[in-house]
Chains A and B, each alone.
Chain A
């Protein structure tokens, strides 16, 4: 722990949007993200659907080209890598995808899928060596090596996701992005895959970016948690601190929505219900991007975009004017807040 493996500075991914005014606008999927992923840690990235967390995960591996800012992977600038450098970077950084039914080529056997990184990077020469490595990888993810010759449609969702994990691990990566890796699995299988990931992370010393909208899963697996809202990281800190004492009103609302597995506590649980919908990422509000739904809005929120600043526990940062900036909370809803952006 301590040194930074992957780092984003002012990372932006803007997509052009057709229609909607002349010339079309831009959709700010990722809009100025500063993020450090420390070597050997598991960083959980949470947020509502559409907040840009998957795009961020993809942009870190340059699977989506960033439109601004930089990404460095182990000291090298990813955004300016040539073809060969990019290839090596992709060996060292793997990705596990959300939908295990879509992420495996239906016409290729498990062995062909898992051995693709080996062939691409020339990691094992010869059929036999590759087959042996594939068997090793399948065993590592808890699959019977005998299934190597089978096609994806013969497997269940959990088994397919294991195949996807085996593929991601084939290049012996340092960094693994799990993009909603458990979201489309049955709940019982989710726990299995989650534990598999945690075991692999420890066993192989992986650095894990665990992207998910499932807060309880993220709390279960992560060392640190980053919360994303409308393309920006609004709170980041140690999992225990963010989970127990969130400093950003959005995180507080998010956490209050997680059911507690204890009937009495669950009944007593106080829920913060946010007003309205998430503003469209193609029309981000001025000032603090959360101000249209925040129960605590006050003067600076309208104009000043808050930066991440220390709040709460050591190592915990929140982007909120309640921490640091002077001002008086307003009781009345400021005008224009409820109007559609």
Chain B
């Protein structure tokens, strides 16, 4: 989710990936643009932070490859109906348990269903559950962490002890409990995984907020009369965000895995709907007879999880302020100061 460029880069400027190495705004090109400013000064940033992040990410080979692969997986998941050669449940008994061939690149399962089609169609199920679960955990956990970290005292105690309670449960047990109450299905699976991951986000956010809260610019903002809400949303959240972003990426990997695990246990996606975890479970019985049943969905899980993890690592490096200054800070010319005082 974080790798997709948000809409609306200024026209005429390429996206992160197209940029030449280092910062493209070198004095020759950048200066005239800025000199046009004085007549109509603008409140818009010269170069948004996320674009800098993107261009830095593009120079981290592993993260760049992982992003591209993930983008590919997301695109495949999005256009699954068009891309899948067959429907998910087109049964052809004559073609059952066919090994990979030109006609069925990933082979067929015991009902003669095309594995490639099911892997493609399963991508949207797995990813949707992953995104929903992490989205839930991100929103709820970040909010709890923000409030706990910023207000401290009893707010912190109450909220974080509650999170500790959730945290103390074994994750799978907690998810099973949620699913036992609400019944199986992808929506409930997402909710269950989301609840399991909420304390992680709360903790990461709180830790990050505790550091940012004491910054002088937070006090400076208070000194001009800014409200708590404004300070939280405009200053603390943006500055506390990097670890949360990294956590999001890594949690997506675990959420996809968790969905697979719960489906494997029969609690997640229900047959005959395709989901990678479910396909893995169904293929288990044929593993000696037809390895491709389990192998390809397994590879899909492996690749997705690996990519989310690599992206998370890359983001961690790129968003680290110290590394960031090393990589980008020095390359920009300082602004000119008009007339010194005398």
Chain A residue numbers with a CB within 8 Å of B18 are none
Cβ-defined partner of A149 (8 Å) among B46, B49, B217, B325: B46
The listed residue (B46, B225, B325, B339) touching A117 by CB distance below 8 A is: B225
Q: Does B238 contact A (CB under 8 A)?
A: yes
Q: Does B215 contact A (CB under 8 A)?
A: yes
Decide yes or no whether B37 CB sits under 8 A from chain A.
yes
Give A148's nearest chain B residue, CB to CB: B41
With beta carbons under 8 angstroms apart, the residue of B41, B217, B333 that contacts A145 is B41
Q: Is B82 an interface residue (CB 8 A)?
A: no
Contact check, B340 vs A192: say whether CB atoms are below 8 A apart: yes
Residues of B within 8 A of A102 (CB): 215-217
Q: Is B13 an interface residue (CB 8 A)?
A: no
In the bound complex, CA of A91 to CA of B43 (Å): 21
* Cα separation A121 to B227 with both chains bound (whole Å): 10
**Is B168 an interface residue when CB atoms closer than 8 A count as contact?**
no
Q: How large is the interface on B (under 10, 10 to 19, 20 to 34, 35 or more residues)?
A: 35 or more
Residue interface bits B220-261, CB-to-A below 8 A is 1, else 0: 111111110010001100110000000000000000000000
Those of B303-329 within 8 Å (CB) of chain A = 321, 325, 329
B41 to A94, Cβ gap below 8 A? no
Is the Cβ of B337 less than 8 Å from the Cβ of A171? no
Q: How far is the CB of B117 from chain A (nearest CB, A)?
A: 45
Nearest CB of A to B30, in Å: 11
- Given the interface pairs A111-B43, A116-B226, the reply to whether A144 lies near B38 with Cβ below 8 Å is yes
Contacts of B34 in A (CB 8 A): 146-147, 149
Residue A318 lies at the interface, judged by CB distance under 8 Å to chain B: no
| Alpha-carbon separation in the docked complex, A116 to B219 (Å) | 13
Q: Provided the pairs A95-B220, A103-B217, A144-B335 are in contact, do residues A132 and B329 lie with their beta carbons within 8 angstroms?
A: no
B44 interface contact, C-beta 8 A: yes
Q: A142-B337, A142-B341 are in contact. Are A167 and B224 (CB under 8 A)?
A: yes
The answer to whether A151 and B43 touch across the interface, beta carbons within 8 angstroms, is no
Please tell me if B45 contacts chain A, counting CB pairs below 8 Å: yes
Tell me, yes or no, whether A302 is within 8 Å of chain B by CB.
no
Residues of A within 8 A of B221 (CB): 105, 116
User: Please, could you name 22 A-B residue pairs with CB atoms under 8 Å apart, sorted by A?
Assistant: A63-B219, A87-B227, A94-B223, A97-B216, A97-B219, A99-B216, A103-B216, A109-B45, A112-B45, A131-B41, A131-B42, A135-B38, A135-B41, A142-B339, A143-B338, A145-B41, A149-B42, A149-B43, A149-B45, A150-B46, A170-B224, A192-B341
A-B complex: 9 closest residue pairs judged by Cβ atoms: A146-B37, A90-B225, A149-B46, A102-B216, A195-B341, A117-B224, A105-B217, A147-B335, A95-B223
